Homo-oligomer: A and B are copies of this chain.
Amino acid sequence: MEKENPQKEGVVGASAAAAGLYMKVMTDEQMELLRRQISVYATICEKLAEMHKAISAQHDLSGMKLGALHCDPLMAYAGHKITARQRWSPTPLQLQILERIFEEGNGTPSKQKIKEIISELSQHGQISETNVYNWFQNRRARSKRKQSVPAPNNMEPEVEAETEFRKDSTKPEDTKFYDNSAPRDHDVYFPSPEVDPDELISWSASGSVMELQSVPSWGGFDVGEL
C-alpha cells in the first residue's frame, strides 16, 4: 500500500544503467520473440511431465486406460474440456509461423496470402481466416505501440535527476512497467532455485539443453549459474 516511491525507483534504474549493468541492445520485437520461444519451452516442459507420468504408470499397470486417469491434471492440453473454447487461440506452432510471416515484412495481409497461411496453419490445428486476419491486425497494432521505448537521442549527458520523467516519457504509449513499488534494485535476476549443480551437470553434459537455441544476448546474464 505504500507504493508511493516512484522517484526512487527511477533513480535506481538510472544508476544501474550508468553502472553499465544491463546495457543491452534488443528490440521489442526480439524481446517478444524471445518470450514466445521461452513460452514454447515451458510448454515442452509440461509435456515432458506428462510423458514422465506415462512412464511411471507404465511400470505399474500396463493398462492403456491410464492415460486419462493419470494425465487428468494435464487434460487441459489434451484438448476438449467438455465444451469447446469460444475463443480461438493460436497454438505455439501456429504462433511461430504467424510470427515468421509477420516478420517477413509481409505487412499486408491480403486475402490471397491469408488463404495460403491458413492452409499451412491448419496443419497444426484448427484455424479460420478470420482468426488469421484478426491476428495480423492485432499484431500490427500491438507492435506499433511497442515501438515506443527510449529514443536514441535521449542519450544526452543530462541523465541525473530528470531520469524519472524521462522514463515516463520514454514509454508513452504502452508501458507495462511495474515499478512504482520496486524498492529493490535489479540485482536479483532470477531466483536460481535450489538446484544441485551436480544434477544439472549430469544432463547438461550428456545433452546440451541450454545451448540449443544459442541466444547470444543471454551471455550478458548470469546464465552460467543455471
Query: Can you report 19 residue pairs joining A to B where beta carbons are below 8 Å apart?
Result: A4-B166, A26-B34, A27-B167, A30-B226, A34-B221, A42-B44, A46-B172, A48-B51, A54-B195, A54-B197, A55-B201, A56-B58, A59-B64, A88-B176, A91-B182, A92-B217, A126-B168, A126-B177, A207-B209
- Among residues 78 to 96 in chain A, which have CB atoms less than 8 Å away from a CB atom of chain B? 78-96
Query: Does A149 have its Cβ within 8 Å of any Cβ on chain B?
Result: yes
Take A161-B82, A173-B42, A221-B38 as given contacts and tell me if A14 and B147 are in contact as well, using a CB distance cutoff of 8 Å: yes
**Contact, CB under 8 Å: B207 / A46:** no
For this chain, the copies found in one complex come to: 2
Instruction: Please name 20 further chain A to chain B contacts, defined as beta carbons within 8 Å, in addition to the given A27-B177, A88-B178, sorted by A numbering.
Output: A3-B89, A6-B125, A8-B169, A23-B27, A25-B150, A35-B190, A39-B190, A39-B191, A40-B217, A48-B209, A49-B74, A50-B199, A79-B181, A84-B188, A86-B180, A88-B177, A91-B182, A128-B176, A130-B176, A207-B208
Assess whether B223 is in contact with A38, with CB atoms less than 8 Å apart.
yes
Q: Are A56 and B71 neighbours in the complex by a CB distance under 8 Å?
A: yes
**A199 proximity list for chain B (CB < 8 A):** 49-50, 52-53
- Contact partner of A41 among B41, B150, B168, B184, CB < 8 A? B41
Say yes or no: is A160 at the interface (Cβ < 8 Å to chain B): yes
Per the bound structure, the CA–CA distance linking A42 and B215 in Å amounts to 12
A176 to B90, CA, bound (A): 9
B178 and A87 contacting across the interface, CB-CB below 8 Å: yes
User: How many angstroms between the C-alpha atoms of A222 and B124 in the bound complex?
Assistant: 21
B164 touches A81 (CB 8 A): yes
Q: Given contacts A68-B56, A71-B53, A126-B6, is CB(A45)–CB(B195) below 8 Å?
A: yes
> What 3 pairs across the A-B complex have the smallest Cβ distances?
A207-B208, A206-B207, A125-B181
Chain B residues with Cβ below 8 Å from A67 are: 52-53, 56
- Given A172-B9, A201-B55, A41:B38 Cβ within 8 A: yes
Q: Does chain B have a CB within 8 A of A153?
A: yes
Known: A25-B150, A39-B190, A91-B181. A126 touches B56 (CB 8 A): no
> Once the chains bind, are A212 and B212 in contact (CB under 8 Å)?
no
